[in-house]
Structure formats: C-alpha cells, structure tokens
C-alpha cells in the first residue's frame, strides 16, 4: 500500500459536520467530477474514498449514488470506482459551488463553502482525496502535489494552502496545473491539517531518522576531510625532512627544531595537536600546538632554501 493511500484511508475516517461534508464534497467534485447528460460522474481508486463520498451524499442530500467497478486505465492494479449521481443534480451542483444560476460554471466556489478554517480544511481534504499524492518519506525526496485541471481552481487552492503558510507553488503541466510543496516540515504540517495523525507520526519518525543519518554522514565527511588534510600536511613535512637529511643539513637547525623533526618522523600520522601533546609528555617540556607549528615552519624554510641551492 502506498503512503498516499494510507493517508487517504486515515482521513476517510474523520467525522464531519454537515457544512464540512459540503465543503469536502465541493473540493472533491470540483476537481474530479464530470457532467454527462443528467449525471455527475466521480472516479477514484480508493474504496474508502468512494465509501466516504457516497456517505456524504446520502447524509447531506439524501441521495443514493450508483457505483460501478471498472479496470483502472493508468496501469495500476487497483480497480476504478465510478460513482454516478443522477438525483437532485441542480441542488447538489449549486449547493457545493460547482455552478451558479443559469447553469454557469463557477471558476471558484462561493465564500460560504470555505467560511471558516474547519471548512477550508474540509475543502482541502476533498481536493487531496481527488487529486493529491505525497511521496513516502523513505524515498530520496520529500514531495507533495495536487494535479488540478482548471487554472482558476489551481490559484484558488494555492491561496487556501498559503493562508496556512504552506509555501505552495504552481507549475504548468501538459494536462493541468501542479500545485506542489517540497519542504519536509510544510508537508508534515499539511498531513496534520488533513487530520491523518498516524501518517504524521510515521512521516516525522522517518524524517528524524533521515536527518540523523544525514548529520552523521556530514560529520563523517568532515572528519575524513580533516584526516586527509592532516596526512597531506604530514607527508609534505616528511619530504622536507628528507631534503634536509639528504643534504646533511640537520645541524643547521637548533636543538628544539631537531626534536620536532625526530618526533614528526616517529609519528607521521599525528595531527599537530596530537604531536604537541606527545612531545610534551615524552620530553617533560610543555609544547603548544602553536609552538610546534613554529618549529615545523623552520624545517620548511630550510628545505625550501636547500631546494633553491640545488
């Protein structure tokens, strides 16, 4: 079962008032319904969504809709439920804000459909049940989308979403308009707004795990980069020491620098901090990282002079 299906099944159990039922029916039918002769045709692959729409039609309008089951046309293994509404069409279409007087199609529903926050949430539930999908957070990216055919409806839905600060954006597609959200936190808030609390918990648990793994990987990468830098620096210092030894020039260094030279050869993989601590312990004379770096610079300077003399 996909993550989107899990969310749709969970929100299909939410109890609603009559005004919320009408708002949810409006969001669903306006983005899913097709008018054919004297029938409204709705389609869904979700049995729970089909049952919810049938229940709302009966509760709100005392209408018994007829359901047909067909093979899905999008190559999925799910059946396609076709809901036919052929009773009280005028009442339903006007009440949900699909048409106005004189059968004129409305580009957006009237204000009373989304009169308060609960009705707005119900409308967005209907839209999501109709044309929404959310990637499983276990996949490589976070993504929520709503595919809407009418440009006016797309702008209207985007406005409703952004009233809740979801930062939804619109892309023009060949077959409509895609409203999308890519921020993980916003997607989580959207699922919570829909009322799918179990799906939110799953999303947040996966997100927390992924964030932890990403942080660990970043730290490991940073540590590896530091180690690579230490090895590179140490190798350069060892080459400088080799130049000095090959030319018999160690005596040109003072005693303290010669000590640093010997300890670098003895501990070639140690960082400056580690090497300064080792020298301090083994010689009984405190040597700071800065002091050691100063001595190693003298080795570098001498090696460069000897190279020029060659």
Domain count, the chain: 2
Q: Which of 19, 32, 188, 16 is nearest to 98 (CA)?
A: 32
Provide the domain limits for residue 231: 223-309
Could you tell me if residue 164 is inside a domain? yes
Same domain, 181 and 227: no
Q: What is the radius of gyration, based on Cα positions, of the chain?
A: 35
Q: Give residue 102's region: left, alpha or beta (phi > 0; psi -120 to 50).
A: left
pLDDT at 75: 55
Are 16 and 122 contacting, i.e. CB atoms less than 8 angstroms apart?
yes
**Angle at alpha carbon of residue 172, lines to 167 and 178, rounded to 5°:** 50
Q: What's the CATH code of the domain at 44?
A: 3.10.28.10
pLDDT at 174: 83
pLDDT tens-place string over residues 123-146: 999 999 999 999 988 876 889 999
State the burial class of residue 31 (Cβ atoms within 10 Å of its Cβ: 0-12, 13-18, 19+).
buried
pLDDT at 8: 94
Q: For residues 208 and 237, what is the distance between their CA atoms, to the nearest angstrom?
A: 43
Compute CA 230 distance to the chain's CA centroid, rounded to the nearest angstrom.
36
pLDDT at 142: 87
Number of residues that this document lists for the chain = 310
pLDDT at 72: 65
Each residue of 259-295: b (16+ CB within 10 Å) or e? bbbebbeeeeebbbeebbbbbeeeeeeebeeeebeeb
In what side-by-side order are the strands of the sheet with 79-85? 34-36, 39-44, 79-85, 66-71
Final residue of a domain: which of 159, 178, 195?
A: 195
Could you tell me if residue 232 is inside a domain? yes
Give SS3 for 268. coil
pLDDT at 62: 93
pLDDT at 74: 59
Residue spans of the chain under pLDDT 70: 72-77, 101-103, 140, 310
Could you tell me if residue 204 is inside a domain? no
């Amino acid at each position: 079962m996909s993550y989107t299906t899990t969310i749709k099944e969970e929100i299909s159990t939410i109890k609603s008032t009559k005004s919320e039922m009408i708002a949810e029916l409006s969001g669903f039918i306006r983005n899913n319904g097709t008018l054919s002769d004297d029938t409204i045709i709705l389609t869904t692959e979700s049995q729970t969504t089909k049952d919810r729409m049938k229940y709302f039609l009966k509760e709100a309008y005392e209408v018994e809709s007829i359901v047909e089951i067909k093979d899905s046309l999008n190559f999925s293994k799910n059946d396609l439920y076709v809901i036919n509404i052929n009773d009280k069409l005028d009442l339903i279409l006007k009440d949900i804000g699909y048409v106005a007087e004189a059968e004129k199609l409305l580009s957006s529903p009237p204000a009373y459909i989304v009169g308060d926050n609960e009705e707005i949430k119900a409308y967005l539930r209907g839209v999501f049940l109709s044309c929404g999908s959310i990637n499983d957070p276990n996949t490589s990216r976070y993504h929520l989308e709503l595919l809407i055919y009418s440009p006016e409806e797309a702008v209207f839905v985007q406005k409703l979403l952004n009233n809740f600060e979801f930062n939804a954006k619109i892309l023009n597609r060949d077959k409509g308009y895609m409203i999308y959200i890519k921020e993980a936190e916003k997607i989580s808030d959207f699922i919570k707004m829909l009322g799918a609390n179990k799906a939110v918990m799953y999303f947040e648990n996966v997100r927390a795990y992924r964030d932890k793994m990403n942080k660990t990987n970043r730290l490991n990468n940073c540590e590896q980069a530091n180690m690579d830098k230490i090895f590179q620096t140490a190798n350069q210092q060892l080459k400088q020491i080799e130049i000095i030894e090959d030319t018999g020039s160690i005596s040109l260094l003072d005693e303290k620098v010669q000590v640093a030279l010997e300890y670098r050869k003895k501990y070639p993989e140690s960082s400056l901090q580690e090497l300064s601590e080792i020298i301090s312990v083994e010689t009984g004379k405190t040597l700071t990282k800065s002091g050691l770096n100063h001595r190693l610079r003298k080795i570098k300077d001498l090696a460069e002079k000897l190279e020029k003399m060659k």
